[in-house]
Structure 1
Amino acid sequence: MVVKASKAEKKIAYDAKLCQLLEEYTQILVAAADNVGSNQLQNIRRGLRGDSVVLMGKNTMMKRTIRMHAEKTGNTAFLNLIPLLQGNVGLIFTKGDLKEVKEEVAKYKVGAPARVGLVAPIDVVVPPGNTGLDPSQTSFFQVLNIPTKINKGTVEIITPVELIRKGDKVGSSEAALLAKLGIRPFSYGLVVQSVYENGSVYSPEVLDLSEDDLVEKFASSVSMVTALALAISYPTLAAAPHMFVNAYKNVVAVALATEYSFPQADKVKEYLAVCISCTFPSDCIVLYIFTKSIIIYHRMNAGPKQVCCCCCPGCWRW
C-alpha cells in the first residue's frame, strides 16, 4: 500500500528541490504558463531534458523558499527573483544557451479554441469565403454584423471581419461562431517573461539581439555621447579628435586671413596656389577650405590626352 505524503512533507521536499536547483543553476527563465495543459507541460519537459529543468509551484511557496535559501547562503542575488513571481508562472533552470532554450520552449505552442470569458491575446479576424453552413445560419451572422450572401446553397462571408480585439473577453456568440467555422485562433505555451543570470535580471528580448545589433547600438551611443560632449564643450575620449580638428580648422582659417605663417598653414597655402595656377582655372572649384584636408573638385571637359593639374581628382596627391 502506497502511503501518501502529508502537506508538510510535500512542502519540505519542494523546498529541498528548489534550494538544490538554486544552488546548482545560475541561469533561470521565468515563464508564464497561462492555459498550458499538463500534457503540453510534459512535452516541454521532455524537449528540454538534458540541461534544463522546469519547476512549477505556488508563488508563495517559491518566494518563501527563495528567501530561506538567500538567508541560509547569504546570496541575496536570488531575491531579485521574487518580484518576477507574479501570476501563473514557472521557473526553467538551465545550463544551456539561453536563446536556444527560449526557442525550444516556443516550439511547444498548441492551437486552442476561443472559450467564453478568455481574454484574447491577439486580434481575431474571420476571413472571407464559403463557410459551408446552410442558409438557416444567416441570422447568426447578422447578430455579429458579419456581411454574408448565399452562394450555391451555403453562407459565404463577403469581407474580412475583425471579430475579437486583443485584450477583449471572448463572448458566447463569438466563441460559438468560431467553433462552427472550425477556427482555433489562439495558441498557448510557456512564454518567457524574464531572464535571471548570475544575479542580473533582464528582458528576454535581449536574447534576440545579434552581435551586429550590439555593435550598431554601441556605435549609436558613442555618436550621441560625442555630439553631447561637442555641444557643451566637454572633453571626452570620443569627442577629443573632433575638438582637435575643429581647433585646427579655426587656426588655419585665422592664418589664411591674417597671413600668419606656420608649417601646416603654409601647406594649405601651397594647395591653394596650385589650384589658382591650374591649367583650367575656370573649372577648378574649392568646396571646403579650412579643414586638415582641403577637398578640391576639378571638373574637366578636356579630352583624355590633355594634361591635368595636381588638383584633378585623378591625382589627389595631397
Structure 2
Amino acid sequence: MPLYTTHLPQWKKDEVGKIKELSEQYKLTGLVDLHGIPAKQLQEMRRDLRGSAVLKMTRNTLIEHAFSQLGGDISEINSYIDGQSALIYTNENPFKLYKKLKETMTKMVAKPGDIAPEDISVSKGPTAFPPGPIVGQLQQAGIPAAIESGKVVIRENKTVVKAGEEISAKMADVLAKLDVRPIDVGLNLQIACYEGTFFEPKTLDIDENKYFNNVVLAAQQAFNLSVNAAYPTTTTAGAIIGKAVREARNLGVEAAVYEKDVVEMIIGRAQREMLALRAIVE
C-alpha cells in the first residue's frame, strides 16, 4: 500500500476503498462537475438518477488516491479531475448516461462572474414592471427600455452578453429581474471510462434526429447506387428489374420494334406526333 495511503485516517481509507469497489463493480466510471449546483437541485438530480446510476461525492484527493491504487487505464481519470468533481457509476453505455445527464439540466439565473454559455438576449416587448427606477436600471445595462401606455417596454431585441463573456453584477441583477435564466446547471460529465475506453463529452454529444436522418439518407443513397450500378441485392433486385423493363420498353418505342409489349405505345406515340403535325399545318 502506498505511503500516502498508509497514513490516511481510517475514514479516508474507507472512502478510497469504496471508490475502488464501485469502480470494479460497474462497467462505467465517470467524473462529473458539481460546480454551481444548489443543494436542492442536486438532491433532485440524485433522485432522478436513482435506479440507473450511483453518484458518489467525495474529495478530489481521495479520488486520485483510489485510481492511483487501481492503476491501469482507469487511473487516467485523475488527469480530468477539475473543480468540484464527483464520481458517477452505471452499467449503461456512456451515450445513454450523457443523454440522461443532459435531461437533468435546469436553467438558472446568472450570478456575478458567471460566464455566458451562449449569447444572452432580451426580447422586444412589454415587461411586468410599472414605471419607475427599473427603466434606468435597464438602460444602464444597455437594454433599450422606455415607458409606453403606462408600462415599461423593451423597444428592440438586444444581445446583452456575448458567449464566453463574464456577466457583471449589474447585468446579473437585471437579467434576474427579467427572469432570464441563461445558465445551464446540472451534472456536467467530464470523462467516462466504459470497459476500458474513454469517452469525452464532445464524442457523446450526439444530435439523435440528425444522426437518424443521416442514416436514412445513407440508406437511400446506397439503394440508388445499387440500382444505377445494376448491383442486385435482396432489397434492390426488384427495382433493378423494374428499371431494366422501363428502359427496354423505351428503347423498343424509340427504335419502333413491333413487339406485343410495346406496339400500342408505338402507335400511341405516332398518333400524338400526327396530331401535333396537323395542328401546325392547319
TM-score (norm 2): 0.67
How many Å separate the matches in 2 of 1:51 and 1:181? 37
Structure 2 contact 77–191 (Cα < 8 Å) conserved: no
2:76 equivalent among 64, 76, 80: 80
CA distance in 2, matches of 1:111, 1:207: 19
Q: For 1:30, what is the secondary structure of its paired residue?
A: strand
Answer yes or no: is the 8 Å Cα contact 1:123–1:165 preserved in 2.
yes
CA 1:136–1:15 in structure 2 vs 1: closer, same or farther (change >3 Å)? closer
The answer as to whether partners of 1:135 and 1:154 remain within 8 angstroms in 2 is no
Is residue 108–residue 182 contact of structure 2 (8 Å, CA) maintained in 1?
yes
Counterpart contact for 1:80–1:199, Cα < 8 Å: no
CA contact (8 A) 2:94 2:199 kept: no
Matched, 1:188 2:185: yes
2:96 is aligned with 1:96: no
Return the offset for 1:20.
Answer: 0.5
How far apart are residue 194 of structure 1 and its match?
A: 2.5
Identity %: 23
Amino acid at match of 1:55: K
8 Å contact 1:47–1:104 — kept in the other structure?
no
CA distance, structure 2, for counterparts of residue 114 and residue 209 of structure 1: 27
User: Where does the alignment leave 5 or more consecutive residues of structure 1 unmatched?
Assistant: 1-6, 71-75, 220-241, 243-273, 281-300, 307-318
Give the drift of 1:145: 2.9
Indicate conservation of the 8 Å contact 2:116/2:182, yes or no.
Answer: no
Secondary structure of 1:86's match? coil
> In structure 2, do the counterparts of structure 1 residues 118 and 302 end up closer, same or farther at CA, with 3 Å as the change threshold?
same
- The CA distance in 1 between the partners of 2:269 and 2:135, in whole Å, is 85
Structure 2 residue aligned with 1:166: 163
What is the aligned partner in structure 2 of residue 117 from structure 1? 113
The aligned counterpart of 1:258 is: none
- 2:140 aligned with 1:143, yes or no? yes
Kindly tell me: are residues 209 and 119 of structure 1, through their superposed partners in 2, closer, same or farther at Cα, counting changes over 3 Å? closer
Deviations 1:119-173 (A, max 9, x none): 2223211111122241443332332332223112222111111111221111122
After superposition, the C-alpha distances for 1:293-316 in whole angstroms (9 at most, x for unaligned) are xxxxxxxx943387xxxxxxxxxx
Aligned to 2:65: 64
Residue by residue over 1:169-210, the C-alpha shift from the partner in whole angstroms, topping out at 9 and shown as x without a partner, is: 111221221233233332301022332111111234447476
Match for residue 13 of structure 2? 12
Deviation, 1:87, is 2.9
Alignment CA distance shift 1:133-1:52 (3 Å): same
Aligned residues: 226
Of the structure 1 ranges 124-133 and 95-104, higher mean CA displacement relative to structure 2 is found in 95-104
What is the rounded CA distance, in whole Å, between the counterparts of 1:158 and 1:45 in structure 2? 42
Which moves more between the two structures, 170-179 or 140-149? 140-149
Are 1:107 and 2:103 counterparts?
A: yes
Question: Which residue does 1:175 correspond to in 2?
Answer: 172
Normalising to structure 1: TM-score of the pair?
A: 0.60
Q: State the partner residue of 1:304.
A: 268
Contact 2:28 2:93 in 1 (8 A): no
Q: 1:179 to 1:215 in 2, by over 3 A?
A: closer
CA RMSD of superposed structures (Å): 3.6
2:143 aligned partner, one-letter code: I
Task: Measure, in 2, the Cα distance between the counterparts of 1:203 and 1:216.
Answer: 27
Corresponding residue for residue 38 of structure 2: 37
The residue matched to 1:122 in structure 2 has which SS?
A: coil
Larger RCO (alpha carbons 8 Å, 6+ apart): 2
Structure 2: gaps (5+ residues) = 1-7, 220-228, 230-250, 258-264, 271-282
Q: 1:153 aligns with which of 150, 155, 159?
A: 150
Number of the residue aligned with 1:270: none
Q: Is the 8 A contact 1:135 1:150 kept in 2?
A: no
- Distance in 2, matches of 1:187 and 1:21, equals 29
Q: Which has the larger radius of gyration?
A: 1
Aligned-partner residue type, residue 54 of structure 1: L
Aligned-partner Cα distance in 2 for 1:89–1:167: 22
Amino acid across the alignment from 1:84: Y
